A and B are shown apart, each in its own frame.
Chain A
């Protein structure tokens, strides 16, 4: 391997020996095609014509007025399939095609990444199988149906906590068994090298567009950028272009669950400790022995006891800060944006909205220019939210 994919001490390749050659092959292909004209032309074509890029940077005037800051929303929710996940699945799907892989596998929690993989499988004609914890299959029935409509097979995972982390374990096991034919399309900036680096690169288009757009609209950089953090891909996607701009405050918002101090939380960076899960060293939610805890969040996309290693690095170097909002606050954020702007956010993204509200309430933050990465739309969450807050 050319790089070990370290961010400070975090990251790495903590995987069984069997996987190493596959990671080497993937790293080599990624390094080759990321600068390949034909690959990029094809990717850019699909990003524009299939997914709907560029997305708008929308000045949310009503919300701005209400909160006393100037708030822009990066509208990843407008993309095909309803979230930023498609940026990564198009790129990795194409990469798999260029590598000659004949089968895609993916894990999914909420179903967003599963759907984004399924449609890319359909688009590129690559058979696709999606691992999903059986608990999530129950919670997200409509998304299972959407994946199946796009011709993907959804494989319920019964092991462990039967949620996202177990779906990842099962997808890894499948990959170990079928390396030659199969590309494992990981959905976030996590896992062993090269995934955290590669997924960030494929999501960095969010940050590139955002920087151009904010300069056009404001003639200056924003004061603060906020994004929700599950594995961390939408956050790193938008942060990436601004990491070198020290004056821009970067905030990652985690799923606090019931209460971050309880065990019922998904706030890995806020409440977790250093550990190795799914191939990299980062922060994890774990007990004193290093057994991984189950995470809890109202949003399935933030319901993960690990987090991408670059976020661990950004936290430890204080380049970004991380905080959590509770399920209850997120539901309020969900309502707030729906009511004030007529934009129904994904529950994941609603965490960033909820945080923005708390942030704007502080005197020292009044009048600031804030960009919120609206990573996805709320269609998938209708069922759950209507049950939680009543129509």
Chain B
């Protein structure tokens, strides 16, 4: 395996091509270890510039029904923290693009921060985003991330004040996760105007690469957030819905996942026409 690509290198790579980064998400072990691995490989083969990987949690309070169902499938197929890291190791053997982990804090707390971050480094992760860990509770985690050469990624939301944005931008490395909606994860048909405003506001306060997530479900959404100044887009529920709808037929599932990924990646190549002139 050649060297792991950093977030910075990845964002520069896509920028040079005049594109945005396409970052698909999966709950590791959904619907089971093997299938999940094939899905992630399909992501990687279909244009993913980086991967966002979630560990399942019994009580995911930032997530809507789609991710909740994925968490449940994964947990009932026997996923554990240890198996989760093994899973990531398998992906790392397959691709060198950046791998980010999305996790709820209790899984880290239970294992111990140091041990968890060490395991994360050893399996080849680039960064960790803790869904329920705001800057107030970071404690020594930044040092731990630093110790193991991992990026600590944070979220910025519409409710985040400029003052907080500055603080968050200072702590954050890798990229800043911009939460597109006021709400939980889940596919949405429309992208709010406020999302576009938020991207430009965050842009003013940070030089970090920005990736927008929550609710991004159509190629147009991707074009909109990229033209607003985002460097990438994270797609979760829209892909998980395809998985859920095709649990009975793996071949069809992989084929649909692949073709949707190619569409989404394609959208990152064409920012809105009016923005180009």
Closest Cβ of chain B: how far from A377's Cβ, in Å? 31
Bound complex: CA A169 to CA B183 (Å): 13
Inside 8 A of B182's CB, which chain A residues have their CB?
18, 176-179
Within 8 A of B (CB), among A252-277: 274-277
B196 at interface, CB cutoff 8 A: no
B109 touches A15 (CB 8 A): no
Interface string of B92-126 (1 = CB under 8 A from A): 00000000000011111111000000000000000
B137 at interface, CB cutoff 8 A: yes
**B157 interface neighbour in A18, A274, A292, Cβ under 8 Å:** A18
Query: For residue B160, which residue of chain A has the nearest CB?
Result: A17
**B137 interface neighbour in A14, A160, A278, A290, Cβ under 8 Å:** A14
**A177 interface neighbour in B60, B155, B183, Cβ under 8 Å:** B183
**A21 interface neighbour in B59, B137, B160, Cβ under 8 Å:** B160
Within 8 A of A (CB), among B116-146: 131-134, 136-137
A14 touches B64 (CB 8 A): no
- In order of increasing CB-CB distance, the 10 nearest A-B pairs are A290-B110, A177-B183, A21-B159, A290-B106, A17-B155, A18-B157, A16-B62, A291-B58, A276-B106, A292-B58
A14 touches B65 (CB 8 A): no
Closest Cβ of chain A: how far from B160's Cβ, in Å? 6
B154 at interface, CB cutoff 8 A: yes
Within 8 A of B (CB), among A171-217: 172-173, 176-179
Inside 8 A of A288's CB, which chain B residues have their CB?
110
Known interface pairs A177-B184, A278-B61; A17-B134 also in contact (CB < 8 Å): yes
Bound complex: CA A1 to CA B134 (Å): 12
Inside 8 A of B168's CB, which chain A residues have their CB?
17
Number of A-B contacts (CB under 8 A): 117
Inside 8 A of A56's CB, which chain B residues have their CB?
none
Interface secondary structure of B, over-half rule: loop
Q: Which of B58, B156, B182 has the most CB of A within 10 A?
A: B58
Bound complex: CA A165 to CA B109 (Å): 20
A13 touches B59 (CB 8 A): no
Q: B residues engaging A (CB < 8 A)? A: 57-65, 68, 75, 80-81, 104-111, 131-134, 136-137, 154-161, 164, 168, 179, 182-184
Q: Which of B62, B106, B179 has the most CB of A within 10 A?
A: B106
Bound complex: CA A178 to CA B181 (Å): 11
Closest Cβ of chain B: how far from A374's Cβ, in Å? 32
Closest Cβ of chain B: how far from A367's Cβ, in Å? 45
Bound complex: CA A373 to CA B104 (Å): 36
Inside 8 A of B107's CB, which chain A residues have their CB?
289-291
Bound complex: CA A281 to CA B61 (Å): 15
A18 touches B109 (CB 8 A): no
Closest Cβ of chain B: how far from A261's Cβ, in Å? 21
Bound complex: CA A176 to CA B160 (Å): 13
B161 touches A21 (CB 8 A): yes
Bound complex: CA A13 to CA B133 (Å): 8
Inside 8 A of A276's CB, which chain B residues have their CB?
104-106, 109, 132
Query: For residue A21, which residue of chain B has the nearest CB?
Result: B159
Closest Cβ of chain B: how far from A107's Cβ, in Å? 12
Bound complex: CA A165 to CA B57 (Å): 13
Inside 8 A of A338's CB, which chain B residues have their CB?
none
Closest Cβ of chain A: how far from B141's Cβ, in Å? 12
B110 touches A15 (CB 8 A): no
List 24 interface pairs A-B (beta carbons < 8 Å), by A numbering.
A12-B136, A13-B137, A14-B133, A14-B137, A15-B132, A16-B61, A16-B132, A18-B155, A18-B159, A20-B164, A159-B65, A165-B59, A173-B184, A176-B183, A275-B109, A276-B106, A277-B106, A278-B61, A279-B132, A289-B110, A290-B108, A290-B109, A290-B111, A292-B58
A66 at interface, CB cutoff 8 A: no
Known interface pairs A14-B137, A18-B179, A173-B184; A160-B59 also in contact (CB < 8 Å): yes
Closest Cβ of chain B: how far from A6's Cβ, in Å? 10
Bound complex: CA A1 to CA B167 (Å): 14
Q: Which of B109, B134, B154 has the most CB of A within 10 A?
A: B134
New contact pairs (19) apart from A173-B61, A290-B108, CB-CB < 8 Å = A13-B137, A14-B133, A14-B134, A16-B61, A16-B131, A17-B160, A20-B134, A21-B159, A21-B164, A160-B59, A160-B68, A172-B61, A173-B62, A173-B183, A177-B184, A276-B109, A279-B132, A289-B80, A289-B110
